[in-house]
Structure 1
Amino acid sequence: MSAYKNLVPRFLRYVKVNTRSDEFSDTIPSSPREVAFLKDLAKELTQIGLSEVNYNPENGYVTALLPSNTTAVVPTIGFIAHVDTADFNAEGVNPQIHENYDGTSVIKLDPAGKYVLDPAEFPNLKNYQGHTLITTDGTTLLGADDKAGVAEIITAMEYLINHPDILHGDIKVGFGPDEEIGTGADHFDVQAFNADFAYTVDGGPLGQLEFETFNAAGAHVVIAGKNVHTSAAKGVMINAIQLGIDFQNALPQDQTPETTSGREGFYHLMRFEGTVEQTTLDYIIRDFKRDGLETRKAIMQQVADDLNHQYQNRIQLTLKDQYYNMVDIIKEHMSVVEIAEAAMQALNITPDETPVRGGTDGSKLSFMGLPTPNLFAGGENMHGRYEYVSTDTMEKATDVILKISELNVQQH
């Protein structure tokens, strides 16, 4: 029987609530459904016995304190997770529980078998022999990203409250909105949080310990066309859709997410919409090196300049940096990584420090003065209907949070 009786029920309760963020909103948080969930979370933190529970309406974060129970002077640790889910259907999440998975069988998500988790397509399933898996029913995402992290942090705090014999220093927890649209951490109040270092619990499979991320930028392209009747179009019409195609084709075609891996960066066309009169394209640009990101931005600007020269300045390109590689900060604070490594090793978990082909809130928080690597939370196939999580891995993630808290005292 699990030592964390509330972990799975808590997670199941969380994922059934739609907290999808809204990238087209100009409010903070981006959706009132996030606000409602966060306020409920604040009530729960008070109920389990945390102190200084606060919902900040200016940034949407719920924070709380578990006070130290030791006379030792130790650094204050923070554990942080986000409550919003990604841009996939999150209404009516109906989690399915599959006990004692054999590691080889195809898992039907829906009764008709239209959507399945097949080890031939998702080979990581073989790592979960004997585990209990929680999946979707094929119609929504699951929300383990990052409600698994939320549930694990709160369960760990509850465990420490109920086991005062485990010595720990001050522990701050933070739960926020809008990570999936890349804006939540922008408004985080690092000074008020008052932690010396922190961890986001927002990673994937067992053992992930991430402290090297992409550098990231976004690009928004607006193309103004000239629409006339097709019978008189020769030499007059300028088709904004065609210019959008030309723009995309002028970028390196071997540098997209589907053609790169490891430390290779990319350009990713996320959205292409429009008419002959006006077309818009939205990109994300990624590179592990800061100068590599700048080079990619320069290439995109050159493509726009070349097309503008040819078509009388009909292309408007807006580039915006989103976050930077946290390793540039973490490398000066490697003790934060080392305590997480020691915690995992003490639990017979092998740390996986593969650079993450993405980013976390910790990328921004580290540059804001709070060194924040990312710990595994257990989710796989995130952001879609094939998402799943192992309850066994969720328990181990909770173990790691507890062990980090213990080691923080023992090492000081």
Structure 2
Amino acid sequence: MKEAEAAERAGSVVTCQAIIKNTIGIGVEEEDRKRTWVADAEECKKRGSIETARAIYAHALTVFLTKKSIWLKAAQLEKSHGTRKKWLAGDVPAARAILQEAYAAIPNSEEIWLAAFKLEFENHEPERARMLLAKARERGGTERVWMKSAIVERELGNTEEERRLVDEGLKRFPSFFKLWLMLGQLEERLGHLEKAKEVYESGLKHCPSCIPLWLSLANLEEKMNGLSKARAVLTMARKKNPQNPELWLAAVRAESRHGNKKEADILMAKALQECPNSGILWAASIEMVPRPQRKSKSMDALKKCDHDPHVISAVAKLFWHDRKVDKARTWLNRAVTLAPDVGDFWALYYKFELQHGTEENQKDVLKRCIAAEPRHGEKWQAISKAVENAHQQTEAILKKVVVALGKEENAAERH
């Protein structure tokens, strides 16, 4: 393999391919081949030996024609490292060709259909994306196919088609909560609040333990009928889902929004009794106490959950406030290391470096965030899932979240 990589570096691609083809099977037990070859290819990819990795996958696919995991990895390689044109990182046609071969070899793999759909959708080919999803639906398709189909129509602004697909999906998969959420959000977007409420309530009949549905219903009640209605929904939600930190946090926040500080404090104390190891609750309780008490509150939090990224990021904010720059940086770095998938921590870290770091630091955090491809986080998802931000790259979303954090801080200062 080293020889093959050396040949690739010297520009002798055909030699590299020949070496791999003739030696990759040597000394590998038959039952270990798939695992070993994929691991070898991924190692080569990490070292930047893309041709060698490509040759390993090409050979592996002649042996394992119907293994979807190898097809997906090979397509991923092309998508990220295809022949680089100046303006295009990766090679969409090459990835497309691999996926077309893949679904010829394994016609019923939904994973491959969805990977092909994603490739087209992310590269602004909505018609191709639509066609792939229509075919996947014809083949039966699971709930994911119906959800993605509705999302495409939502982005293209085809409200009626979006509704039809969600309704049809719900007939087939009534316990798939994401479709209920999508339908409720669709009605809310159109200003049909009563209808949205009915949707969330129907959804909860099918999925009583779905927290996002409870939270959506509570928010909607607060919008339509004020705090006491929202309070009733959240109380009911906690009855049916005890020891759920998110439901407690929503109740605390609802009281805070309406200026009921005492109520919020009482609820927070109850919440921490019921969920003593919840990082999100401890982090919120640190922010709720007056500034002089925050230090001791954060000591309590660290005793209960010292490896929780929410608590760690709340402590980082205290150091940042006290201008303890190095300590703040260390703690922010711990938060993103523990939870690289949570975009909120990256946004906080990046905002911190914009204030206190060098350009090097800023570039470094940005690069690491892009590599981590965060998908979660309350503020992150609020922005990344907004229709107008569809297809935005990680960097663009990160910068929008930083702006949102700034606005939030200004509002808090005014209070």
Q: What is the TM-score with the length of structure 1 in the denominator?
A: 0.21
Larger relative strand fraction: 1
Higher RCO (CA 8 Å, separation ≥ 6 residues) = 1
Larger relative helix fraction: 2
Q: What is the TM-score with the length of structure 2 in the denominator?
A: 0.21
